Structure 1
């Protein structure tokens, strides 16, 4: 939970700076390009205490000057200085969440007991958009352990309409 809290703070700061500079789209694209280009070895290298802070920052500046905005390079350098560089993937996720929220999107994660057709997914998305009066970005996954039905997570809300949950509730009632 601490990582998410820290990531949110840095993501919000980066979003605000990008917004002031009118570069939110550019920052979003660059941040994801950078994060996807980084592999486990690169993250380990930037976390290596044997490599000096000055060398780490110098490498970032050399490798990405001209490719990414000065603000993003400064942000990456700040993460290195504050020993938060390993949080970059989480910061990217939080940046995307802030971006989506500011552009009228809500995120939903839906687990179903079986694979849903595109038509079913479209109906579910449409129902969510009608209910919440918002556009949705929906991530679907299959979880066979649910036995039937689905679980919908929207922010901090969770709707559990799974057969597994209903059977558990029935079991609780029968034991009373």
Structure 2
């Protein structure tokens, strides 16, 4: 995963075969590959914010908006220090810029924590689903084994009864003979 800004591609090939590229001129994402269903959406861009689908159901998503962090937007692109007053003004401008950047970083950190929590939650859910499926399969196997054992006992009992029925005429012949 790479940073999303000019001339940087973000690739998810290891996970899904999806390549997401950023077109800085048009300010759009381009998604390539990975989708069998046209209704699937991984990420979309609207009003300089991103929305990630994080669950299996609609509306299970999380949004992220990254503020403008360019030097011009932060007001640090034209800092010129020629005297003490300009230096003090520059320090104030840089302090405000640092506060804005720190605020954006904390928002991104909170989003990362939410995504990490979601990943862990989905991992636990998948593990629980696998365990439940295993229990169902085990129960089905136990049911089949019980049915097999019952049928085997019935077969052996039938064979024993047939053997006893065949022995009675021989006993009568022995008594007569």
- Shorter chain as denominator, the TM-score bin is under 0.3
Q: Give the structure, 1 or 2, with the largest relative contact order (CA under 8 Å, sep 6 or more).
A: 1
TM-score by length of 1: 0.21
Q: Which has the larger radius of gyration?
A: 2
User: TM-score, normalised to structure 2's length?
Assistant: 0.21
